[in-house]
Amino acid sequence: MQQLHRLLVEMSGIAHNDAAFTQGHVGGSCKTRILCHFFNHKAGKSSMAITKQNVMDALARVGMPDGGDLVSRDLIRAVQVNDGAVQFVIEAPTPEMAARMEPIRAAAEQLVRDLDGVAEARVALTAHGPAAKPAPPSLKIGGHPKPQEGPTKPSGVQRILAIGSGKGGVGKSTVSSNLAVALARQGRKVGLLDADIYGPSQPRMMGVNKRPASPDGKTIIPLHAHGVTLMSIGFMMEEGKAVVWRGPMLMGALQQMLGQVEWGELDVLLVDLPPGTGDVQLTLCTKSELTGAIVVSTPQDVALIDARKALDMFATLKTPVLGLIENMSMFVCPDCGSQHEIFGQGGVAAEADKMGVPLLGALPIDLETRLAGDGGTPVAAGEGPMADAYARIAEGLVKGGMA
């Protein structure tokens, strides 16, 4: 709008400096009164006072490269609006991020400056070091569950998929984070709920180490990373403090994770389960409307014995198993390309066949997968054979109407 105005002013041949330009809109003493009158009338610029909310609404349109936007990622601080002059601070999560966020700062400043009713905008960029985390939101996590009729599902969420295994350490969390990212890359709206109360690993794997906000002490605003809406039970717990979960507390916590988190509109919500066949699985399968479960296993016999238990449990709880994923199925030598079946061969495929459930994919042991998971950027967020492998599994799920 300002550019158009300027162009018309130039075309009309009237000298018009910036101060007069601004003044013309705010104070109404511009020399190009007729033009200003036209624009003020059209855009209501002088008649509309800008509010903090207008500014926040605009900033919610500025996306972050690793998912979410400036507002949903809770990066805006100290918004001040004074007679059409707006200033605020963007607080980058880390100093390294801040070094890369100058284009975002500039874009946010320009966007706000172009809003109706804004005469000037000034935006500063700061960063928090890896300082101590603020206290968890003033929410009692894991209180007694509220009585609930039948199974429920957050209202905007189309499907809930649980990712389970009988055994720990087979790659459930790795598969969950990578599948979530791969689905998001295919344009799906994806949520990831880390329900592993014993060892939540998604904060590390997705590279998010923040407390979610809870402005009213009731709703929990989830975080965003790599295009995925993320909530982990780990975000809500005091660091280094052991939590002894009793059955009812655990049910309450899960209910909160599903019911109080503002998941928004999602095509699919993936739930990264703790290992085994315990209370979390039982609660989730009976209290929420699960679309189905995916079971991850490594090919060796001991893992398969536990995978069978998981399959059995889902069958008992009448949760459909959508398929099996074989993880760490082989090692491809990076030097010579030869394949080594470290954990045996084809065990999961044979099991899938026996159970009559599809094998959704077989993922090799891969150093990059582990390094990427430890580093907070899942391998599926990049390019290469592993990203392709996850993309294929994601594609299969989308085609099958499961995600």
Ligand X SMILES: Nc1ncnc2c1ncn2[C@@H]1O[C@H](COP(=O)(O)OP(=O)(O)O)[C@@H](O)[C@H]1O
Binding positions for Mg ion, rule: CB under 5 A: 172-173, 196, 201
What are the CA-CA distances from residue 102 to residues 94, 120, 127, 306, 326 (Å)? 13, 19, 12, 50, 43
154 or 200, CB closer to ligand X?
Answer: 200
Closest distance between ligand X and the C-beta of residue 335, in Å? 17
48 or 365, CB closer to ligand X?
Answer: 365
By the rule CB under 6 A, 328 interacts with ligand X: yes
HEC per residue, 43-92: HCCCCCCCCHHHHHHHHCCCECCCCCECCCCCCEEEEEEECCEEEEEEEE
Q: How far apart are CA 161 and CA 190, in angstroms?
A: 11
Closest distance between Mg ion and the C-beta of residue 171, in Å? 8
- CA-CA-CA-CA torsion sign (209, 215, 220, 223): negative
Q: Which does 283 bind (CB under 5 to 8 A by kind): ligand X, Mg ion, none?
A: none
What are the CA-CA distances from residue 259 to residues 162, 226, 263, 377 (Å)? 16, 23, 9, 28
103 or 334, CB closer to ligand X?
Answer: 334
By the rule CB under 6 A, 363 interacts with ligand X: yes
Q: How far apart are CA 147 and CA 66, in angstroms?
A: 38
DSSP 36: H
Closest distance between Mg ion and the C-beta of residue 213, in Å? 25
98 or 325, CB closer to ligand X?
Answer: 325
By the rule CB under 6 A, 327 interacts with ligand X: yes
Q: Which does 142 bind (CB under 5 to 8 A by kind): Mg ion, ligand X, none?
A: none
Closest distance between Mg ion and the C-beta of residue 81, in Å? 45
By the rule CB under 6 A, 277 interacts with ligand X: no
Closest distance between ligand X and the C-beta of residue 370, in Å? 4
Residues that contact ligand X, how many (by CB under 6 A): 18
Closest distance between Mg ion and the C-beta of residue 376, in Å? 15
* H or E stretch covering 23: helix 18-26
189: tokens are 């709206």
Q: How far apart are CA 110 and CA 150, in angstroms?
A: 50
Q: Which does 363 bind (CB under 5 to 8 A by kind): ligand X, Mg ion, none?
A: ligand X
User: Side-chain half-sphere of 245: how many Cα atoms within 13 Å?
Assistant: 21
Q: How far apart are CA 328 and CA 165, in angstroms?
A: 14
Site residues (CB under 6 A) for ligand X, limited to 130-189: 165, 168-174
Q: Which residues contact ligand X by CB under 6 A? A: 165, 168-174, 201, 275, 327-328, 363, 365-366, 369-370, 373
